[in-house]
């Protein structure tokens, strides 16, 4: 039987401990990928922020403790935590840093802290794929699986505080020496019941400027849904492990955007849903943005998928205030797109980019190098296509990465089954080097990533940027963009 605590007013810390590395600052709070950045980007962690808000509204004491974005070193972080003495420390983790998190948990658990014995919780995609691993390899007390770990953390806190007798499914815990769990996680929580995120509690300002997506500052993040209505790409950890798509009502999102504009004077908002909803939902939302006049106050960005939006949709989105649309191209080769289950051809993607640009939107594309089945010529096709799209202005910005097969995804299973993994050390999954065997040398994979970022220094690309500048926001955005590109070149040096 899981023991409860002897108090009902628990103090809970949602923590991102410092992770020091010569590679830079970790980007841990991005939903789908992990990277070390020389020029840091701080992404507002929306689901942990929902957890903090739910807990506070339910009467718990909550500490928002992101030592990464606050730039604290380990000693300072620990000193501050020892002063606060939370009962529970909940940490979001990812594959490349899970071993570091185990060490941190074990270190704090081994300290003699005048009777302070916090309980530790790990949550996120890696522990959803491999929950038992963390229970066995560290002294963590609980693992929360599934993407609704905000609801699960509330359930756990209520149970430990003796307010509820039942724990939600999806929670791993210890019963003496035995490891137990409460069943498979649910993905049917009604996200329309979530309160608006408490932005002050969750220190939204820490994430409001150092983010390459924002042109107008300050910016922040919201989520219209969880997580992607497509949800089938074989490399995508969130959506393959949390395959149920749910969406908030358009009116509730508009209400939140209105509050962000009026109370926090936010000028740009990125929606971090895996893929933003389309169809009648999008039209209703866009209509609401226009009718309330919010489209003139705030710029919107979102993750989008090719092939669903018509030219008319793009036109309406532009009127509603959208600027940056993030699209996953992944590869220029249709055979790879088929293997990845993208459900699209490259020709269709290019047509869609053309439509979006014609309507005045700014597509950001993501591409990857290092597929185990692509030879160097295939990879060069992707490089050439990416460069061409950037130079012609069909894509405005790019994010190039190496293919990393995260545990829990079909791509990981495929690589494991075919003996394609170069390592089973999670530390190596940090995008500093390929972890999958490729038909050409590793350094050439890194070279391709480098080469795509170098496009930003071509005369055609620079000229196009200069002629489209309209105001100081454009100038500052371009300046920050140059810094980002230089940072990326150093990241993949």
Q: If binding is defined by CB under 6 A, does position 236 make contact with ligand SF4? A: yes
DSSP state of 302: E
Nearer to ligand SF4, 328 or 434 (CB): 328
Among 27, 228, 332, 361, binds ligand SF4 (CB under 6 A): 228
Nearer to ligand SF4, 62 or 228 (CB): 228
Q: Which helix (H) or strand (E) holds 428?
A: none
Closest CA to 45 of 257, 204, 241: 204
Binding mask 305-324 for ligand SF4 (x = CB under 6 A): x-------------------
Binding mask 112-151 for ligand SF4 (x = CB under 6 A): ----------------------------------------
Residue with tokens 């949390």: 242
Question: By rule CB under 6 A, what count of residues binds ligand SF4?
Answer: 11
Q: Least distance from C-beta 399 to ligand SF4, angstroms?
A: 12
Helices and strands of the chain, counted as H and E runs: 17, 17
Nearer to ligand SF4, 202 or 303 (CB): 303
Q: Stretches 179-187, 230-238, 355-363, 415-423: which one binds ligand SF4 (CB under 6 A)?
A: 230-238
Binding mask 321-350 for ligand SF4 (x = CB under 6 A): -------x----------------------
Q: Stretches 40-48, 226-234, 310-318, 415-423: which one binds ligand SF4 (CB under 6 A)?
A: 226-234
Nearer to ligand SF4, 210 or 273 (CB): 273
Say how far apart CA 471 and CA 421 lie, in whole Å. 48
Q: Stretches 51-59, 194-202, 224-232, 382-390: which one binds ligand SF4 (CB under 6 A)?
A: 224-232
Distances (CA, A) of 294 to 63, 70, 261, 288, 315: 32, 31, 8, 8, 17
Q: Which helix (H) or strand (E) holds 183?
A: none
Say how far apart CA 231 and CA 182 lie, in whole Å. 26
Among 26, 131, 231, 288, binds ligand SF4 (CB under 6 A): 231
Q: In what order do the strands lie in the sheet with 119-123?
A: 61-66, 11-16, 88-92, 119-123, 142-144, 171-175, 178-181
Nearer to ligand SF4, 130 or 233 (CB): 233
Q: If binding is defined by CB under 6 A, does position 408 make contact with ligand SF4? A: no
Burial letters 309-345, b for 16+ CB under 10 A, else e: beeebbbbbbebbbbbbbbbbbbbbeebbebbbbebe
Say how far apart CA 99 and CA 193 lie, in whole Å. 35
Is 223 within 8 Å of 273 (Cβ atoms)?
Answer: yes
- Footprint of ligand SF4 on residues 247-286 (CB under 6 A)? 274-275
Among 155, 239, 336, 401, binds ligand SF4 (CB under 6 A): 239
> Given the DSSP bridges, would you call strands 322-330 and 11-16 parallel, antiparallel or unpaired?
unpaired
Q: Least distance from C-beta 271 to ligand SF4, angstroms?
A: 12
Residue with tokens 């309160």: 195
Q: Stretches 102-110, 159-167, 209-217, 227-235: which one binds ligand SF4 (CB under 6 A)?
A: 227-235
Within its chain, how far is the Cα of 301 from the centroid? 14
User: Residue numbers of the site for ligand SF4 (CB under 6 A)?
Assistant: 228, 230-233, 236, 239, 274-275, 305, 328
């Amino acid at each position: 039987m899981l023991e409860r605590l002897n108090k009902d007013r628990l103090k809970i810390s949602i923590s991102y401990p410092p992770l020091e590395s010569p590679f830079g600052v970790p980007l841990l709070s991005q939903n789908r990928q992990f990277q070390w950045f020389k020029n840091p980007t701080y992404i507002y962690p929306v689901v942990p922020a929902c957890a903090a808000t739910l807990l506070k509204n339910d009467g718990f004491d909550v500490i928002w403790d992101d030592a990464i974005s606050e730039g604290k070193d380990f000693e300072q972080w620990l000193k501050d935590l020892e002063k606060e003495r939370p009962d529970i420390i909940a940490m979001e983790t990812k594959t490349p840093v899970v071993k570091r998190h185990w060490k941190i948990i074990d270190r704090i658990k081994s300290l003699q802290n005048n009777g302070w014995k916090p309980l530790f919780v790990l949550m996120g995609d890696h522990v959803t794929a491999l929950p038992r691993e963390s229970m066995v390899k560290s002294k963590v007390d609980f693992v929360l699986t599934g993407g609704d770990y905000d609801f699960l953390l509330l359930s756990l806190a209520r149970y430990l505080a003796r307010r509820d007798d039942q724990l939600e499914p999806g929670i791993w815990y210890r019963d003496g020496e035995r490891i137990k769990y409460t069943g498979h996680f649910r993905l049917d929580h009604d996200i329309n019941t979530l309160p608006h995120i408490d932005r002050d509690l969750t220190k939204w300002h820490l994430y409001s400027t150092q983010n390459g997506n924002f042109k107008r500052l300050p910016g922040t993040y919201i989520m219209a849904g969880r997580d992607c209505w497509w949800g089938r790409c074989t490399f995508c950890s969130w959506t393959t492990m949390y395959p149920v798509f749910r969406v908030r009502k358009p009116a509730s999102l508009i209400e939140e955007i209105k509050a962000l504009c009026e109370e926090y004077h936010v000028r740009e908002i990125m929606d971090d849903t895996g893929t933003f909803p389309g169809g009648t939902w999008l039209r209703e939302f866009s209509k609401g943005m226009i009718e309330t006049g919010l489209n003139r106050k705030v710029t919107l960005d979102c993750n989008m998928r090719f092939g669903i939006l018509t030219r008319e949709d793009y036109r309406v989105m532009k009127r509603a205030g959208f600027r940056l649309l993030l699209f996953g191209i992944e590869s220029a080769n249709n055979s790879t797109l088929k293997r990845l289950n993208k459900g699209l051809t490259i020709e269709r993607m290019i047509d869609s980019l053309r439509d979006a640009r014609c309507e005045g939107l700014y597509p950001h594309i993501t591409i990857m190098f290092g597929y185990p089945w692509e030879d160097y010529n295939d990879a060069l096709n992707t490089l050439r296509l990416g460069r061409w799209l950037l130079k012609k202005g069909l894509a405005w910005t790019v994010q190039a990465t190496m293919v990393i097969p995260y545990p829990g995804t079909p791509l990981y299973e495929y690589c494991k089954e075919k003996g394609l993994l170069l390592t089973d050390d999670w530390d190596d999954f940090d995008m500093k080097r390929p972890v999958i065997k490729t038909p050409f040398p590793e350094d050439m994979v890194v070279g391709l990533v480098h080469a795509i970022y170098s496009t930003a220094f071509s005369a055609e690309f620079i000229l196009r940027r200069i002629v489209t500048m309209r105001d100081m926001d454009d100038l500052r955005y371009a300046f920050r963009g140059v810094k980002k590109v230089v940072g990326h070149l150093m990241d993949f040096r």
